[in-house]
Amino acid sequence: MKLLDEIIDVILSTTGGDIKRDMLIEDFKLVGNILDSMAVTNLILALEDRFGFMFSDDELSVEAFETVGTLAELVRSKLQ
């Protein structure tokens, strides 16, 4: 499974709601559409659990969670 697909799986499992997989393309805006502060917290914890890393405070910016693509870049950087 591609990394982007795994990230989308985590997004779908933590946010719920009416979001469909085909809507979560790389430039889909997460902040303001499906992510509020509680959802971001849940997503952070789920990503850390799924991929086995911990985010540092300085990595957790609004910009990093703005779109599916920016979130994928952050996860990729943690896995290198």
Instruction: List Cα–Cα distances, 54 to 10, 22, 36, 48, 69, in angstroms.
Output: 15, 28, 20, 5, 19
Locate the domains of the chain by residue range. Answer: 3-79
3-79 architecture in CATH?
Answer: Orthogonal Bundle (1.10)
**Residue 43: which of 77, 12, 14, 73 has the closest Cα?**
14
* pLDDT(10) > 80: yes
pLDDT tens-digit profile of 13-60?
A: 998 778 899 999 999 999 989 998 899 999 999 999 999 999 999 999
**Residue 47: which of 20, 21, 8 has the closest Cα?**
8
pLDDT of residue 16: 78
Q: Which single residue is written with the structure tokens 């499992």?
A: 13
What is the DSSP secondary structure assignment for residue 29, as one 8-state letter? B
